[in-house]
Structure 1
Amino acid sequence: MHLVLTGATGLVGSAVLHHMLNAPSIHKVTILSRRPVAQATGHEKVNVIIHRDFANYASSVLDQVKDADGVVWAQGISQTKVSKEAYEEITYTYPLAFARALAETTSPKPLNFVYVSGEGATTTPSSLTPRFGIVKGRAEKDLLALSKDPEHQNLRPYSLRPAGVDPGHHQEIHEFLPEKNVLEKVMFGPVLSVLRSVANGFTSPTRELGKVLTDLAAGDGAPIEGTGVVEEGRTVTNLSGNIS
């Protein structure tokens, strides 16, 4: 099993990478990253591709992932950290561009593409929907639409909507988390601890989240059934209990 990962130096990506590195069924992990990935250092089954332009993919990059079975797109950023235009580019344009390019490269072989969205995303926004919910919801919707395009019908998209991402009990990744995530863990750890104990549906422990994302990328690509699963079995909400 060959999986591709983006966002490997972030909070969710670090959790996913930890699970991929320790999953015997995964023989190869290709990481697309703007910078070296410390967590991957020394692991023979990992290939880190330093990639700068996530809106475009040269044949030299696609040739290295043409046999991929699945993708976890964990790249992302807070809407408060960048301009409106940059947020849309990172959150919407980049994953759609890669899904399109890789599906064409791997066709007709099925390709699972797992998009890390967020609780609060919606494909039917209202005037009260926050910007992140609108943009991520549009990415969810258009990934599903892309899979119905005859040229990309091998694409098997999934979107997961984690809530309060909680690394508190996932000590193995703490040393690899960005400084801002370590600070957030210290500041909001007590809040997450309370939510974890009284309202599990509002937190997403990274150990479990990393496993769910990896398993979907490595799975059979079929629609999911169950409470809290929407959009034709392709979107899993955090309140479903599948990722908390």
Structure 2
Amino acid sequence: MRILLFGATGMVGQGVLRECLLASDVDEVVAIGRSPSGASHPKLKDLVQADLFDYRAIEDRLGGFDACFFCIGVTSFRMDEATYTHLTYDMTLAAASTLARLNPAMTFVYVSGAGADSSESGKVMWARIRGRTENTLARLPFKRVHAIRPGAIQPMNGARSRTRAYRMIYPLMAPILPIFRALMPYSVATTETVGRALLALARHGYAKTVLETRDIEEVVRSGA
């Protein structure tokens, strides 16, 4: 498979990239972002793109992919709705609409978040916008579209958040997350599990378009 990965420098993206590079059926991973991924591997190519809202200048390099994993996400903390919409909905759809036109046989997987609001009408701003993003993606003419909604995520294998607050919190939570995962296995995902789930979706798809943490675990067991 040839895979296009957005957000390879983030915590989730780092985990996804690692699993892609380890997978024997992945021939190439192109990491696209405003800066290089920082990783080095024979399968990996970096495609630096300063403007993540306009891909016209690089369309000739965006064809022939089997799957796209969109792992870019921003926190809504202290952010107004217009800005969050631009950085969540607009950014995702700019990439997805371009790729749908160039790669109709592609599987597009969007990393959303637990609590996303499919009704688009709830009181929680970030949840409405995440839900709207999921719904619009599902209508694009890809082979398959999936959105995964992990809740708490345990970083594995050196994955590290770029958000300063999360970098402070995760070391404090490190001893606790494995306990929660053991006691409530469907409340905590890992970066490793998320990466393997995305690969399984690219290979085989899944009965559900939107996957909660329980489904993420199930798709790994059934299709990895």
TM over 0.5: yes
Match of 1:242 among 198, 213, 218: 218
Deviation at residue 55 of structure 1 after TM alignment: 1.2
**Where does residue 163 of structure 1 map in the other structure?**
151
Contact 1:32 1:48 (C-alpha < 8 Å) held by counterparts: yes
**Where does residue 122 of structure 1 map in the other structure?**
117
**Where does residue 188 of structure 2 map in the other structure?**
203
**Where does residue 139 of structure 2 map in the other structure?**
145
Tell me the SS of whatever aligns to 1:159: strand
**Where does residue 87 of structure 1 map in the other structure?**
84
Structure 2 residue identity aligned to 1:178: R
Cα RMSD of the aligned pairs, angstroms, is 2.1
Deviation at residue 127 of structure 1 after TM alignment: 4.0
**Where does residue 46 of structure 1 map in the other structure?**
44
**Where does residue 16 of structure 2 map in the other structure?**
16
Contact 1:209 1:243 (C-alpha < 8 Å) held by counterparts: no
The whole-number CA distance in structure 2 between the counterparts of 1:127 and 1:22 is 40
Tell me the SS of whatever aligns to 1:21: helix
Deviation at residue 106 of structure 1 after TM alignment: 2.4
The whole-number CA distance in structure 1 between the counterparts of 2:45 and 2:135 is 30
The whole-number CA distance in structure 2 between the counterparts of 1:25 and 1:106 is 19
Structure 1 residue identity aligned to 2:63: K
Contact 2:113 2:149 (C-alpha < 8 Å) held by counterparts: yes
The whole-number CA distance in structure 2 between the counterparts of 1:28 and 1:87 is 32
Contact 2:5 2:68 (C-alpha < 8 Å) held by counterparts: yes
Match of 1:104 among 95, 101, 104: 101
Give percent identity, aligned residues only. 26
The whole-number CA distance in structure 1 between the counterparts of 2:128 and 2:161 is 27
Structure 2 residue identity aligned to 1:26: V
Change (3 A) 1:51 1:83: farther
Contact 1:18 1:173 (C-alpha < 8 Å) held by counterparts: no
**Where does residue 75 of structure 1 map in the other structure?**
72
The whole-number CA distance in structure 2 between the counterparts of 1:93 and 1:53 is 12
TM-score (norm 2): 0.88
Structure 2 residue identity aligned to 1:106: N
The whole-number CA distance in structure 1 between the counterparts of 2:87 and 2:163 is 20
Contact 2:122 2:128 (C-alpha < 8 Å) held by counterparts: no
Deviation at residue 155 of structure 1 after TM alignment: 4.2
Contact 1:204 1:243 (C-alpha < 8 Å) held by counterparts: no
TM-score (norm 1): 0.81
Q: Which moved more, 1:94-103 or 1:113-122?
A: 94-103
Deviation at residue 126 of structure 1 after TM alignment: 4.7
**Where does residue 149 of structure 1 map in the other structure?**
none
Contact 2:200 2:219 (C-alpha < 8 Å) held by counterparts: no
